[in-house]
Amino acid sequence: MRFQQSELGDYRIYAGAVEAAADRGYIAALIVSRRQEGAGNRELEAYRDDSLGCGYLWPTPDQAISYAMTRAREMIRKHSPVLRA
């Protein structure tokens, strides 16, 4: 698994590329956490999806991570109701 971390506002994004069985490609995975001020900068998980895009297989890990990052930024900017925290 490869992953990349980024921050946007109060959110921390963890985007990953999980290798599919038999080297067929990579599945995009995503965790979005929200930082809680005043609580020791504790993070609360706001969203998790271990198989973004219904498990679509990306040819490279970079493509899977790019897709996951794009989805996370879109959810945060649009204040998506799927963000729990």
Domain for residue 26, yes or no? yes
Q: Is residue 82 part of a domain?
A: no
For residue 12, give both structure tokens: 């921390």
Q: Helices marked H in the chain — which ranges?
A: 52-55, 61-77
Q: Which domain holds residue 29?
A: 2-77
Q: Judge whether 73 lies within some domain.
A: yes
83 found inside a domain? no
Residue 56 lies in a domain: yes
In a domain, 44, yes or no: yes
Residue 84 lies in a domain: no
Is the pTM above the cut of 0.85? yes
30 membership: H or E segment, kind and range: strand 26-36
Residue 85 has pLDDT above 90, yes or no: no
pLDDT at 61 over 90: yes
Measuring CA to CA, which residue among 70, 78, 77 is closest to residue 53?
70
Beta bridge partners of 20: none
Predicted confidence band at 22 (pLDDT cuts at 50, 70, 90)? confident
